[in-house]
């Protein structure tokens, strides 16, 4: 397994701005993960609402509501805390998005691998 997998340059993620979608498995055709910047750090989750089972973004990469404070589900408007993935309002209140571990190194957001 590779030591790490590049998701995007760090500069692509602005605080409360557009996110980057990525495949959970390298070479997989569908993009089921996403990363955004919140509280100065990249935060990544599986792009599936725990209530509806649909993708959160209403347009590719558009995960935040208008004020850039919460992640929002495009289907039912559920609001999620970007730091924890916890649903704070909506039909799935109390449930969480599934987190994906990401790190920032040398100006890039990566998924760390395992070193044999």
CA 103 remoteness from chain centre: 13
Task: Return all residues near 25 (Cβ < 8 A) that are at least 6 apart.
Answer: none
Alpha-carbon gap, residue 70 to 17, rounded angstroms: 11
Query: What is the token pair recorded at 93?
Result: 């209140």
Provide the sign of the torsion angle of the four alpha carbons 49, 54, 60, 66, taken in this order: negative
Give the pTM: 0.90
How confident is the model over 7-31, as a mean pLDDT? 88
How do residues 79-94 score in pLDDT, each as one tens digit? 999 999 999 999 999 9
Residue 28 has pLDDT above 90, yes or no: no
Where do the domains of the chain lie, and which CATH numbers do they carry?
4-106 (2.102.10.10)
Residue 23 has pLDDT above 80, yes or no: yes
Alpha-carbon gap, residue 30 to 25, rounded angstroms: 9
């Amino acid at each position: 397994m590779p030591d790490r997998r590049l998701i995007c340059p760090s500069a692509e993620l602005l605080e409360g701005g557009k996110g980057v979608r990525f495949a959970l498995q390298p070479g997989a055709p569908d993009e089921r993960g996403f990363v955004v910047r919140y509280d100065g750090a990249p935060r990544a989750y599986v792009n599936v609402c725990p209530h509806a089972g649909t993708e959160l973004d209403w347009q590719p990469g558009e995960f935040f509501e208008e004020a850039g404070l919460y992640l929002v589900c495009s289907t039912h408007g559920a609001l999620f805390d970007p730091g924890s993935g916890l649903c704070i309002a909506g039909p799935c209140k109390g449930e969480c998005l599934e987190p994906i571990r990401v790190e920032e190194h040398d100006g890039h957001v990566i998924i760390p691998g395992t070193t044999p």
